[in-house]
Structure 1
Amino acid sequence: MKRIYVILVLIVPLLSFAQGENDNWYFGQYAGVNFSGPTPTALTDSQMYAEEAVGTVSDKNGKLLFYTNGVDIYNRQHQVMLNGSSIGGGLSTQQLVIAKNPAYPGQYYVFTAAEISTPGSYVAYTIVDMNQGDIGGDGHPLGKVLTNAKRLPILDSSGNKIKTEAITIEDHADTYSFWILVPNGNTLYSYRLSASGFNPVPVVSGLGLSSPLDETKYFGIKVSPQIDYGKGFTNYLSLNMWIPSNYYMNKVYSFERSTGQITNHFSLDVNTSISYISEFSSYGKIMYLGRDKIYAINLGASTSFPVYNQIYSGAPGINFYGIQRNISNTDIYLSTPHYGYLSKINNPDNYGGSSVNLNAIDLKGKLTYLGLPQNVYLSNAGATECIIDLALQNPETYSGHTYSVNNYIITSNNYTVDHTNQSIIMKAENYISLLPNTEIKTGSDFFATIAPCEVLAGKMQRASAAVSNQKISLTLDLRETPEESSINIYPNPASDFIKIDTRSKVLEWEIYDLSGKIVLKGNGEKIEVKSMIKGAYLLNITLEKGKKITKKIIVN
């Protein structure tokens, strides 16, 4: 019997942040906030303890779908989702991101970064399908983590697993797909997620760092919303390092979302100011960062010299870590560890008019920790689209899907298609190669053909601009925080003792375990840890004059 294959390409040029999809946040020590009304309100139904990386997804109407701390995924009934335990991240992993599958409504990619303190941890992704799973009280599925799409490793350009705690996302200029951005070593790896799936072949950019990122450094990454055209690039991209204590770094690059690469149009070094992470205003030109103090930097006005001001001068015992804009109301929120309120930057789009409200949202007895959820990205492409090339290395996760690429498709490492996948179509302009360990099983409907990839209509056009390289530097807090630039914790990791090396007097210190409870407390510069359970901890140090500093330590 002859089969006739008809490929219909439906293109809907819409890609953006979701709206209702970001109406709920779950984070910290069982804390949550709903943003759907005119005034954000606390949620107290969370069953999740989280220290750093968190993510929450709702539907377009703002109804909760699931939330995660990077370790487990919880459904809307606040139970661990079917197959949703141990997805690969860790409680002390700094970031994770979630993106809606551009091809399949109801599916979401959860990208988890590594936990540096855990051997064998690596950057990976997991797919959640909200069309599957147990039936909830409302008669609809509660979601399921796909068995063959759980903790799939993301590899660098040399084929190695990546161990970094930093990961973020930005939409592609084609308005149909995304860039998953992972910094490691001295390289930014940009992976494209499109309707053809996750492309494991990264686009690479050099970071130009004097000290490359490695497993001794803790850092985060953020990318701004798209700025106006005419500058030769589309976004700002920031890296913020807060450990080790003798090498704080905040760096801003220019980024082009059509190529996924860093450009040479703009570079800003912000020296000495400690910042766990940074955040950008809704129009992308103001960056906020800091820890005990918060600064606003006007990137749009910083051409040959930085334009900045301090919007918060500090308060005893207050150190900000997570800084995150919520697309539902464009406000920027801040987290302070073990604090009963979520703080907020007032008027973040108004340079010179912004300020910090320390007690903006009462969490009703729940507490913050370090991390806040990055915004969920949404695509309504709903169709096959063209990418350069594609390598498929795991059992097929799609059903009734078409891959279409400009160059080639390669399958390897146990790529499998069976009857559950229904119809899989591959189209490539140059070649399709089914390498050893590829298996097309009986009962599957598989078709591969050499054919041109359809050119997407409606791609965003950009005017080119001849802009010279702008490289500037900004120094903050040199006279105000000498303790932070001189303190050193060693050895770290440690098995017997930890030494606090600082020119200031140590009044007291506290060590918190992963449950947020104090396990040790004392004073002086030497801490015995040989009786402690192996793992990652937070060391809170109080110096003379009430200065508080938090360090991450590892006991092995």
Structure 2
Amino acid sequence: MDKAEHWGYGYFDDFCGFNCTSPSFNPGITLNPLPNGCPKFPLSVSGNITLPSSASFTNVTLQVLDISNNVIATKIINSAPGGFFSTNLDYPDFYPSGPNSNIQFNIRAILNYGISGTPQTPIIINNTNPPGPDVSFKNCPTPCYEELIFQQDQAINSSVNYQASCCITSYSIINPNNTVNFKAGYIISLQPGFYVSGYNTGLFHAYIGRCEENNFNSRIQQNSIGNKIESLESDVKISPNPTSAYINIDAGKEKVVSWELYDRSGKSVLRGNSEQIDIQGLLKGSYILKINLEKRYISKAVIIK
């Protein structure tokens, strides 16, 4: 007769001992609230991160979003000493191609980190001022650009005050229910295609006058042409202005590569590369001189008397 075999059962408690405890906290990121009202530049954005001791910080990716959650600009913050991070945003971070109809924005921060050299799922935080917007330009003046041009495909969809030290030219429509103001130092030119839409539902005003004082420190319009940008405030001088015979260009230590002179309709009437321009054959009126330097473009208003 065979002997019967018997199986027993063992129970183990606290099998992991002290080596399987969870981290004392999970990764996290917070954004500090931004001030209300018209933004003052540079606009400081800051926050805090928390990481388990086994994790390593990679970066914080800061994004500027429009109200449709499209990413307008991105900044990478590579250090967060003591868990604190900060950076500054400027006007071009919201309007990289110059002013447009977007006036409300949100800020998103993304914490990127790794554990034992392996990247982990990023931690994302939205809305510093829920439900938003984080930054609003509603009823705020734009920076004092030297020149603004609104093409036909640049419909104005929001109530905005635009200003320029020289000139504003518009070929675009202003959509209904908006109040839009143009203020320029010399010329406001409304070209074919300009139209204020709506009956008794919106207002448009045009003024000749100096730019209003505001808190915008940015003086560069990010209209990229190759690797150059168009500077709006500069130390480049033209004289005499007004003039009836010649224009002298003083670019300091910079080299004048070329220049082109445009009349009020946008037609090119003269071009060259010298530092003195003979304008004796031109009609009296207002012109725009675009100067091509080695690293940038400068636009200047010229009055021929």
Q: Tell me which interval the TM-score lies in, with the shorter structure as reference length.
A: 0.3 to 0.5
Q: TM-score, normalised by structure 2?
A: 0.37
Q: Which has the higher strand share?
A: 2
For the pair shown, which has the larger CA radius of gyration, 1 or 2? 2
Q: TM-score, normalised by structure 1?
A: 0.21
